Amino acid sequence: MTVAHDGPVATIVVDGRDKLNALTLPMLAVVDGLAVGGGLELALACDLRIAHSRAAFGLPETGLGTIPGWGGTERLTRLVGASRAKELILTRRQIDAVTALHWGLVNSTTGNLAAEVDRWVADLLGSAPIAQQVAKQLVDAAAGGAPSATLEAIASGFTAHTEDFAEGVNAFLAKRTPHFHGR
């Protein structure tokens, strides 16, 4: 994996989609154009996806005699449901950004991608890193069928003993913005 930092945002080139999905930080995919085949599967491995209004999405592999082989069938099905996943995979059709938003494939679509990315990054940077990591793992576990109520109770007990939790409560009571340090 190669990581290039540009301020608070990192550009990551990953040699395996599962490695991207396993990162503890929230991963935001930004789509500005076509996301087809492996490009869509890379975006699916991220936690959140935002797209320019001109973006398009598709999985054309069946037209090549193969299937989406980097987690596309599983992740797409989890996001949009079996029927829509089959539609995209079996017909090889591409969908536009508005349809992708309606289906739940992307979280946001906009004509001003730079401003939208800034907004999402600011929101993500405003949360406690440990709490984000644990929440991400819980959501992934729940999506995989794990008993989330039990896991949430354990995770709440864990995060309640972090410095970030104390900072969050103190900032709330003082009506100020918290300053998290990942401890």
| Catalytically active residues, by annotation | 41, 61
Residue 37: CA atoms inside 13 Å, Cβ hemisphere, count? 8
The residue whose two tokens read 């913005």 is 177
Query: Do 18 and 69 form a contact (C-beta atoms < 8 A)?
Result: no
Cα 112 to Cα 53, 70, 118, 124, 138: the distances in Å are: 8, 30, 10, 19, 32
